[in-house]
Each structure stands twice: as structure tokens, then as C-alpha cells.
Chain A
Amino acid sequence: MALYIFKRCLFVIPTLIAISIVSFAIINLPPGDYVDRLVAEGKNRGENMSEEQIAGLRTVYGLDRPITEQYIRWISDIVLRGDFGDSFRWNLPVSTLIGERLLLTVALSLSTLFFIWIVAIPIGILSAVKQYSIWDYVFTFIGFIGLAIPNFLIALALMYVSFKYLGQSVGGLFSPEYLDAPWSLEKVLDLTSHIWIPMVVLGTAGTAALIRTLRANMLDELRRPYVVTARAKGLSELRLIIKYPLRHALNPFVSSLNDVFVNLVSGGTIVAVVLGLQTIGPLLLEAFRGEDMFLAGSAILMMSMLAVMGTLFSDLLLAWLDPRIRLR
């Protein structure tokens, strides 16, 4: 097991290096560099820079060095000092911009994940155990509706409901008064009262998909001989289902956990824009539109890293859950 964990962690390193190269390539994708941009901005203000000044600036920023050296400098700044460079648009260090949003993104992703599990697992079991019952049909119907409606539409509907009937401030993860306030207990409580809308919106499709997957997995497992064995031992149905078929049915689902994670981080952008969430998605969108390349590259880097970590996490979880992976 220790060797397995070590190996898996080791395999993450080349993946992360590849991701960083791609991110850096994206930063350098637009024509011209940072200095060109400064020159252009200067021109707009009516200032003209001399060739020497421009060359000086290039030396200061290291842009006259070969591209490999620039990459090494960029990545070592990130790794050693947590310095992701500056955002052109906000004139702020990228780390400051991303930091809090990253935290919120992870918080939202995790709470959505738990929401999906809590709702989908019991319903999935029920649908399988009582296959073709009225409950199965009802949840299947709701599930397909959940899959079919675009997320942003659900977001709009929920916003309307919460504004009209619950009297809550709509959009965002905080009420306006807490938006720029420092972290406090009240701010956390405010967050929990806001986070449920994006949680439900982002979770609906995932819940529906998971119910279907779990139902199919469970139906496969319920027909296995070991279930008859367990029943012939005299176990009660509920204990039997939880101990045996559910344990087996969860395996494929754990291994697809990373997909869920990736989708939550990257797939929620449209919803985040509609709801005005302070997560990474909208920031990344803005960054691309404004050719804010350090911000964009860093955001991509961070999100890819989250995806890699999610995969690692689900692999290790699976190895822990399934002795066949651990021991064979």
C-alpha cells in the first residue's frame, strides 16, 4: 500500500510539470509581451518611451531572456515565493486576486459534492431496490428533468424564488455588507445562507447523473451471487444492502469522483456568472476577455492542479476501499 501511494504521488509530478508548461504557453500566446502592452498604454496617455527605456524595461522583467529561462523564472517564483506575477487589469498580484476566490471555489465544490452524495445515494439505492415501483418512476422523472434543464435556467428560477419569497439578497456568495469585510463568524454565517443556491444549482445535474449511475450499478450488484449468500445467512435487507451491494456499487462511482471534481471547478462558470459568484470561473472568463494573461495562466494552472489532486484523491480513496487494488 505504501509503495502504491508513493508511486501514485510520484506520477503526479510529471503531470504537474506538463500542466505548468501548457499554462505558461497560454500566457505567452497573445502577440506581443507585457512591455509592448506598457508601451501601448503609455502611447494612449500621450507618453512616448525611447528604445532604451523599452529595452531597459525588458531587462527588468527578464523578457529579453530565452523563453525557457523565462519559464524557469516564472515557475520558480511560483513554487518558491508563491508569486504568480501581476494582473494587468487589476494591477494586483495574481496570488491576492486568486487566493480568496480559490478558497471559495473549493468550499463551494466540496459543499456541492456533499449535497450530491446526500441526495443521490439514498435515492439511487431506493430506485434500484424498488425497481419499477412508483418511487423509481418519480425519481427517474425528476432526475431526467434535472439533467435536461440547463444549470443557468435553474439558477435564474431559484434566484427569483429566493428574492421574491425569502427576501434574500440575490446573487453572490455574500450580502453586500460582508463583501469586502474581513473574515468573521458573521461573514461565515452569511456565506452559508448564500451558498445553498449555487450548491443546489450546480448539484442538480450531478445528482441526477449520480442517481442514474448508482441505480444501474446497484441493479448489477443486487443480482450477484454474494447477495444471495448474504441473504441466506439471515441478514436483514437493510444491513445486507448497505454492507454488500452498496459497497460494491460505490467503487465505479469513487473512481469517477475526479470527473465530478473537475466539472465542479471548471463547469460552473456560466452559473457563477449568472449568480455573480466570487469563484475562479468568472475571473478566468474576464481574464481571457481582457487578455490578462498572467491571471489567466495562473488560474488555469490552479484549476488543473485541483483536477490532478482530485484524481489523486479518488485513486487513493479507491485503493483504500478496494482490497483488489491494494493487494493484487
Chain B
Amino acid sequence: MSSGSENLLDVRNLQTHFVTDDGVIKAVDGVSFSIPRGKTLCVVGESGCGKSITARSILNVVDPPGRIIGGDILFRPEAGREINIAKLDPRGKDIRAIRGKDITMIFQEPMSSLSALHTIGDQITEVILLHMHTSKQEARQLAINALRKVGIPRPAEMIDAYSFQLSGGMRQRAMIAMALVCEPKLLIADEPTTALDVTTQANMLDLIRDLQRDMGMSVMFITHDLGVVAEIADDVAVMYLGTIIERGSVDEIFTDPKHPYTRALLRSIPKLSIGGIGRGRLDAIRGMVPHPLNRPSGCPFHDRCDFAVAGICDQIKPPIVTFSDEHEVACLLYDKENPLPVNQQTVDQEPAVEANFRQPHSSDEVLLEVNDLKMHFPITSGLFNRVVGQVKAVDGVSFLVYQGETLALVGESGCGKTTLGHTLLRLYDPTAGEILYTQENAEVDLAKLPKNRLKRYRREIRMVFQDPHASLNPRLPVIEIIGEPLKVNGLAKGRALEKRVTDLLQKVGLRPEYIHRYPHAFSGGERQRIGIARALAPYPKLIVADEPVSALDVSIQAQILNLLKDLQAEFGLTYLFISHDLSVVAHISDRVAVMYVGKIVEMADTSTLFEQPHHPYTEALLSAILHPDPKTRNDKNRIRLEGDVADPSFDHKGCAFHPRCRYRQEKCETEVPALRQTADGHFAACHFAEELHLKGVQTIAPDEILTR
């Protein structure tokens, strides 16, 4: 424990419990940490580890039945003044004077964290009027200034906008303006960039960092993304099941992680590096975070730990071992008084990585050929709902999908990638174009096929959805969910159906006994497995996976990505993998197509695209990737994309990307660039593809890759 008196915040042995009918949930169970003035502490861990509850406890705004039942939260707004927040009445005047003024919070979902019925300005001036003695006019002026400071264009107008009229990035900026308008001493940010695009995320982190420097405030940043941690943290605390199992400076955590959980988290991230692009198997952490009601005895992590020793780790609560002033670990491996019967060698030993590297797929058998596909949605307005425009969600897209490959579709939200996926399945009727699907050496145009003849193709082309909670019917048991496509297509019934469903469950790594359970009994990762089993059920050929891992924790994400790869190898599946996460795309796909405003702007095989992009948009996307390595932080050469994805209902003159492009020339404003071959197997839609020398991903030498 660092000597406390000059820290802005010292949390000691904090306990926040939820008393429920089923028992006491110890969401935060003895957490201690400090935040020095002007520094950033990142709290990381999987979901369900108590990160958010810890953050909310600091302001004592935990929803009932949650309650702080023990510990101290010592807050020192000025030198010599110390307040123990844990001891204040959660509804009293004293804590309300701190909330919103000295300590403020921003949240993950700016849409739901702002009231849609009140203007942005109303919600910002409210804080000012609460904590500062100003008139309404002055408060409004302060709010406008705050909006300007966070980079909202035309703040004097935007102050009267409602949250739903702003884009995701702008909403989060408004949220930050609201949190910073009273110049707080501590900003608590609870996953503030998780719901945003990579490009917006990078801008947001810059903004928080700049404001922190200007205002000298401290930041407590909660995230599950280790790339973000490496980018902004001074100190890191790793949480598992309501306790901090390791904390230290950002360099210590990334270069010398001690706790097996920290190491496992770092290993489970897909890494971008030469040679590493593509195809290794990810080291997933087995199992998942248990429900806090079933907390394992002894070390909470012992049931998922590769180094756990029976009889010790499941019995003894690990003591805190200190490595340096800041670096502390709660693990029995390092307990000097009570050493484990393993030698240090095993700890540092690399777990065997399965040699499952695979050459990029070289089949030239075309499974799907898409030609100039368009999906426009009419915009209606006025008295008689006249069509006044078109949202050109997909606007002339052509590509090939080869048998057995994984083609990734990437781009910011709003670029049309999901609509394209849905159109391929004929969930929409395309406006124009062809979707030629090869079946037994004959081609069928799915775009023009009448609805009643689609059934057969819907069996062969299947979909996996993003949200595993929303995409499973909560009223159906697993056997019905997975068995439905079999029944509908008359592939199996009765015993045979049950047999097939149990086989599928085993294939996706779930126990066959679960066949009669309902979705609510499963965790997010398990539900996604059920979703995959449902897609697999009728022996498909092509699977369209729409952001299948973006709602999952890194550790679970690694499990699902490994599963998808195994299934592809076993059944010879072809994947169309839609994602905004370029690290995941680099890991799973053979080829990548980058979309922007309804069009493909670049397409190439994965390593070519990552190493030598030919379109400035791809370059910017690659540049926005945050590497889980503090050495790459605050890269001055990083490209920042300003503004949002262009409006797909607008008729763009010239290249749709030109307003955000750093290389734009006159020609870009007038002439639409066509997608053309710029190198062998490499397509780009940029007038200057050959002349520009665009930068690919930062290549990290293999020995620097974090593999510990």
C-alpha cells in the first residue's frame, strides 16, 4: 500500500454486498487501491467481476439492494481535508455536494445514460445550477463553453439538441462535457468507449487525456479492453470476483504480470504482428467467471487456473505479496511463508500452443458471387409519405466468396456491413444486383428468386447474430431452438432430432444434458455457442456471422473464435465474418473487405491489407487499433479521423470519404473512384492508391510480442 496522505483517493477494504432472497452477493469484497492526484488508474477484468460496482460505490450510487457494508473511501479534495465517503449518508447533503462536483462519472451507453426527453443543455446546466452559484444565463454560457471544449461543433445550437439527434461519439462527448463542467478532482469513466467505433474510441481517449492534463484531475477508468489500458493507464488494478488480484504500474502489469489471471487475460487477446496475422489458436481462459453466489473457496480463480494446486489453492485465501512499491499480487504461487509445491519454472513456462497454423485458403472454387448489389431504403416525408430520398445502405457492391474461406467485412457502424449481410440472406429484397450462389455446379441468383423457393438456400446459408441475449427466444428450450431449422426443413424429427441436437451441443462445447434448459440458464458465451449450434444444425455451407464476438469478454471471445475455426476445419464451412474489431478480423479471416458508406473501398487478403493498405480509410482504421503494449501508447503518428461516417442518404459528389481524408485532392471532390485492381488480388477505390505510401499496422518484432 503506497503511503496515502497525498493521494486523492484511498479505498481500503471496501465491501459492497447485495442482500437477495438467494443469498448475499459479495459484488465487491475487500477491495483496496489508491489514486494519486493527476494520475489514471485502470480497472480491468471480465464482466461480472465487480468493476462497475466498485466505481459506483465510490459515489455511493449503487442500486438497491446493493449497499456498502464495510471499508473506507478516503477522499481528499484539498490537502489537509479528508472525507470518508463510505461513512456518509447516501442521500445526505454532504455526499450530494461531492457528486457531480468533485467526483463525476461517465458511463458506457451514452444513449441510455442521457435522458432522451430532456435537451443536452438542460442536463448540463442542471449540474452547474446545483453546484455553482450562477444565474441561468451564466450556466447556459458555461455549458456552451463545455460543449465547445469537448469538440462538439456549433455548441450554441447543439445545446438545445436531444441525445437521440446526436451520433454515438457526439453523445459521449456531451456526457463528458456534463461530467467535466464543474471541474472535478476525479473522473470515474465506466467503459466509456466500449460502445463506440475504434476511430471514435481513439478520439475519445485523446480527449479525456488532454482534458486531464489541462485540468490536473485524476481518472479512474474501467474497461475490459487491454489495448485501452496500455494506451492511457498510469496504474492498473486487475479485478476478479470482487477482489483485486493484482495491481501495479502499467509497465509492470504488461511486461511482468505475476498473477495467472493477468497473464491469461493478456494471452487471450488476438495480437497483430507479422507472421502472427492469421491463424494461431488463441489461448482462451477455460471456463467462465462463476456467479458471485457460487464463489469458490480459497483463491477465487483456482478453478480456472493452470497452476492451481489441489488442497492449497482451494483452501487458503491467497495473501497479498508485494513486489515493488506499487506492484502487489494476491496469489499463493508467490507466498514466501507458505510456498506451493511447484517450482518457479512451471510458472514461467510457456503453455504449449497447438500448432494449428493454417495457410490462407487457396481454393478457387467460387461459392458466392455478388454483382453490383444495391439495397436502398426509401425515406418518406410530408403529408402523403412521399418518397423524398433513398438511404443507400448498400450501394453497388461486388465481391466473390471462395469455398472454404473466411471473408471479413469491416467498417465503422453505419457503413452498411450488417445490411449487406442481411441482404445476402434475402432478409431484405435487394433493390438491384445479383447474388449468384453456386450449388452443385449450377448458379442460382438469390436476389431474384421468389420467396417460396428460398427455403432450401436458407438452410445452406445461415446466420450467427451479435447479441446472444436477444437472438434466442427466451421461451423455448435449447432443443427447440437448435432443432427448429431441422424440423422446418424436414431434416430430422423425434429421436433423430434429439440425437442431432445433442451432437451439435457437444460440437460447440456444451454438455448434452443442457438440451431441455432455457436460454436464461446460460451465460453470454454459452448462448453464443447455442446460436452457433443453431446455425450449424441444417448442414450449412456458408455462415454469415454478424459481430459474433463483439458482445463478449476477451477471454470468452477467444473461446468462440477458436470454436469457429475448429468448426470450419471440421465441416469445411465458408464464413462471411462481419466485424468492426480489426484485431479479431486479422486473426480469423483469409481476406478482408473494407466498407464505407455502402461501398467496398478496399479488398485484399488479410496480411496484404494489414501490411500495405491501398485506401486512406483502411490506413486510418488500422492506425486506430490500440495495441496491448504500453510502448505504443500516445503514438504521435496516429491518424485521427474527424467527424462521422458520411450520411448514406446524401448524394455524394466525388469520393464519399474525401471530407475525412488527409490526402484529398481536387479530383476527390468531383470524381467517384471505382473499385479497381491495384495489385495482384488487391482492390482499392482510391484515385491515388498507387501514389500514396500508406502505413500498415505497426509491426512488432516477434520477440516483443507479449506471450507470457
| Pair B113/A231 contact, Cβ less than 8 Å | no
- With contacts A3-B383, A225-B112 known, is A233 near B107, CB below 8 A? no
1/0 per residue, CB under 8 A from B, across A222-246: the answer is: 0111101111111111000001100
Does A247 reach chain B (CB closer than 8 Å)?
yes
Q: Once the chains are docked, how many angstroms separate the CA of A10 from the CA of B383?
A: 10
Does B97 reach chain A (CB closer than 8 Å)?
yes
Does A45 reach chain B (CB closer than 8 Å)?
no
| Pair B117/A321 contact, Cβ less than 8 Å | yes
User: Which residue on A lies nearest to B96, using beta carbons?
Assistant: A234
> Which residues of chain A come closer than 8 Å to B119, judged between CB atoms?
323
Q: Once the chains are docked, how many angstroms separate the CA of A247 from the CA of B107?
A: 21
Most buried by B among A243, A244, A251, A323: A323
| Pair B115/A324 contact, Cβ less than 8 Å | no
Does B126 reach chain A (CB closer than 8 Å)?
yes
Does A328 reach chain B (CB closer than 8 Å)?
yes
| Pair B164/A225 contact, Cβ less than 8 Å | no
> Which residues of chain A come closer than 8 Å to B601, judged between CB atoms?
none
| Pair A324/B116 contact, Cβ less than 8 Å | yes
Q: Once the chains are docked, how many angstroms separate the CA of A148 from the CA of B117?
A: 36
User: Which residue on B lies nearest to A236, using beta carbons?
Assistant: B96
| Pair A228/B382 contact, Cβ less than 8 Å | no
| Pair B162/A234 contact, Cβ less than 8 Å | no
Q: Once the chains are docked, how many angstroms separate the CA of A237 from the CA of B96?
A: 10
Question: Which of A233, A244, A322 is in CB contact (< 8 Å) with B100?
Answer: A233
> Which residues of chain B come closer than 8 Å to A233, judged between CB atoms?
99-100, 104, 126-127, 130, 178
| Pair A232/B59 contact, Cβ less than 8 Å | yes
Q: Once the chains are docked, how many angstroms separate the CA of A231 from the CA of B64?
A: 13
1/0 per residue, CB under 8 A from B, across A307-328: the answer is: 0000000000000011110011
Min CB–CB distance A234 → chain B (angstroms): 4
Q: Once the chains are docked, how many angstroms separate the CA of A224 from the CA of B105?
A: 15
- With contacts A248-B115, A323-B117, A324-B162 known, is A229 near B107, CB below 8 A? yes
1/0 per residue, CB under 8 A from A, across B47-81: the answer is: 00000000010010101000000000000000000
> Which residues of chain B come closer than 8 Å to A328, judged between CB atoms?
164
Min CB–CB distance A215 → chain B (angstroms): 16
Question: Which of A7, A228, A244 is in CB contact (< 8 Å) with B107?
Answer: A228
Does B91 reach chain A (CB closer than 8 Å)?
yes
Interface residues of A in 1-19 (CB under 8 A from B): 3, 6-7, 10
Does B101 reach chain A (CB closer than 8 Å)?
yes
| Pair A226/B113 contact, Cβ less than 8 Å | yes
> Which residues of chain A come closer than 8 Å to B98, judged between CB atoms?
234
Does B131 reach chain A (CB closer than 8 Å)?
yes
User: Which residue on B lies nearest to A245, using beta carbons?
Assistant: B115
> Which residues of chain A come closer than 8 Å to B104, judged between CB atoms?
232-233
| Pair A324/B164 contact, Cβ less than 8 Å | yes
Interface residues of B in 155-202 (CB under 8 A from A): 162, 164-165, 175, 178
Q: Once the chains are docked, how many angstroms separate the CA of A83 from the CA of B56?
A: 68
Q: Once the chains are docked, how many angstroms separate the CA of A7 from the CA of B385?
A: 11
Min CB–CB distance B110 → chain A (angstroms): 9
Q: Once the chains are docked, how many angstroms separate the CA of A243 from the CA of B143?
A: 19
Q: Once the chains are docked, how many angstroms separate the CA of A87 from the CA of B383?
A: 41
Does B503 reach chain A (CB closer than 8 Å)?
no
Of the four ranges (under 10, 10 to 19, 20 to 34, 35 or more), the interface on chain B belongs to 35 or more
> Which residues of chain B come closer than 8 Å to A323, judged between CB atoms?
116-117, 119, 162, 164
- A interface residues, how many (CB within 8 angstroms): 29
> Which residues of chain A come closer than 8 Å to B116, judged between CB atoms?
323-324
User: Which residue on B lies nearest to A222, using beta carbons?
Assistant: B63
Q: Once the chains are docked, how many angstroms separate the CA of A232 from the CA of B126?
A: 12
| Pair B115/A247 contact, Cβ less than 8 Å | yes
> Which residues of chain A come closer than 8 Å to B383, judged between CB atoms?
3, 6-7, 10
Question: Which of B99, B105, B114, B131 is in CB contact (< 8 Å) with A226?
Answer: B114
| Pair A228/B63 contact, Cβ less than 8 Å | yes
> Which residues of chain A come closer than 8 Å to B127, judged between CB atoms?
233-234
User: Which residue on A lies nearest to B98, using beta carbons?
Assistant: A234
| Pair A244/B115 contact, Cβ less than 8 Å | yes
Question: Which of A6, A229, A244 is in CB contact (< 8 Å) with B105?
Answer: A229
Does B611 reach chain A (CB closer than 8 Å)?
no
Question: Which of A225, A236, A327 is in CB contact (< 8 Å) with B109?
Answer: A225
Q: Once the chains are docked, how many angstroms separate the CA of A324 from the CA of B115?
A: 11
| Pair A247/B165 contact, Cβ less than 8 Å | no
Interface residues of B in 85-105 (CB under 8 A from A): 91, 95-101, 104-105
| Pair A322/B97 contact, Cβ less than 8 Å | no
Q: Once the chains are docked, how many angstroms separate the CA of A10 from the CA of B382?
A: 13
Question: Which of B95, B113, B126, B131 is in CB contact (< 8 Å) with A225?
Answer: B113
Min CB–CB distance B377 → chain A (angstroms): 16
> Which residues of chain A come closer than 8 Å to B165, judged between CB atoms?
327
Min CB–CB distance B175 → chain A (angstroms): 8
Q: Once the chains are docked, how many angstroms separate the CA of A234 from the CA of B101?
A: 8
| Pair B100/A232 contact, Cβ less than 8 Å | yes
Q: Once the chains are docked, how many angstroms separate the CA of A6 from the CA of B127?
A: 38
| Pair A226/B59 contact, Cβ less than 8 Å | no
User: Which residue on B lies nearest to A321, using beta carbons?
Assistant: B117
1/0 per residue, CB under 8 A from B, across A203-234: the answer is: 00000000000000000000111101111111
Q: Which 3 A-B pairs have the closest CB atoms?
A: A233-B100, A234-B99, A234-B100
Q: List 26 A-B contacts (CB under 8 A).
A: A10-B383, A225-B107, A225-B113, A228-B113, A229-B105, A229-B175, A230-B115, A232-B100, A232-B105, A233-B126, A233-B130, A234-B98, A234-B100, A234-B131, A235-B126, A235-B130, A237-B91, A244-B115, A247-B115, A247-B117, A321-B117, A323-B119, A323-B162, A324-B164, A327-B164, A328-B164
Chain B residues within 8 Å of A, Cβ to Cβ: 56, 59, 61, 63, 91, 95-101, 104-105, 107, 109, 112-119, 126-127, 130-131, 162, 164-165, 175, 178, 382-383
Given A226-B114, A233-B130, A234-B99; 13 other pairs, CB 8 A cutoff? A223-B63, A225-B113, A228-B105, A231-B59, A231-B61, A232-B100, A232-B105, A234-B97, A234-B131, A243-B118, A244-B118, A251-B117, A324-B116
